[in-house]
């Protein structure tokens, strides 16, 4: 896993706009978030872009749960898992509330 990954607009702007439907004006913010992400998240993003399967679990929250059951986009799931890695207490509390809400609404 390459920990020195750097995501630049010249290489990733079109990918973010077309594949992930990020508005052009939001691309710099997303690139900043990706560049600040933990190395495992950066590598997972590269893997997603390359079409590889992702098997990533952070504090019992899996990438697959987020994209399959909770219908997050791959990018949103990865950035959410990065948040869980950085601020587990706050992130897990927020996820618990959302999961309860989604269950009550019959989404999962």
Of 53-57, 91-95, 97-101, 104-108, which has the strongest mean pLDDT? 53-57
Task: Look up the domain containing 72 and give its range.
Answer: 9-104
User: Is 91 part of a structural domain of the chain?
Assistant: yes
**Cα separation of 70 and 100, whole Å?**
12
* DSSP code of residue 70: S
User: Is 2 part of a structural domain of the chain?
Assistant: no
User: Is 18 part of a structural domain of the chain?
Assistant: yes
Share of the chain above pLDDT 70, in %: 91
Decide if pLDDT at 105 tops 60.
Answer: yes
pLDDT in tens, 23-72: 999 999 999 999 999 999 999 999 999 999 999 999 888 999 889 877 88
Cβ contacts of 16 within 8 Å, gap of 6 or more: 22, 27, 30, 31, 75
User: Is 83 part of a structural domain of the chain?
Assistant: yes
Please count the structural domains in the chain: 1
Please state the pTM of the whole predicted model: 0.85
User: Is 78 part of a structural domain of the chain?
Assistant: yes
User: Is 3 part of a structural domain of the chain?
Assistant: no
User: Is 45 part of a structural domain of the chain?
Assistant: yes
Q: In what helix (H) or strand (E) does residue 61 lie, and over which residues does it extend?
A: strand 61-62
């Amino acid at each position: 896993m390459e920990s020195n990954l750097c995501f630049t607009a010249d290489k990733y702007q079109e990918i973010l706009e077309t594949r992930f439907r990020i508005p052009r004006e939001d691309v710099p913010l997303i690139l900043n978030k990706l560049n600040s992400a933990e190395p495992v998240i950066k590598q997972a993003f590269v893997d997603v872009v390359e079409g590889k399967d992702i098997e990533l679990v952070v504090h019992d929250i899996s990438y697959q749960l987020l994209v399959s059951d909770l219908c997050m986009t791959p990018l949103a799931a990865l950035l959410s898992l990065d948040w869980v890695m950085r601020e587990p207490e706050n992130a897990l509390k927020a996820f618990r509330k959302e999961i309860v809400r989604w269950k009550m609404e019959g989404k999962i």
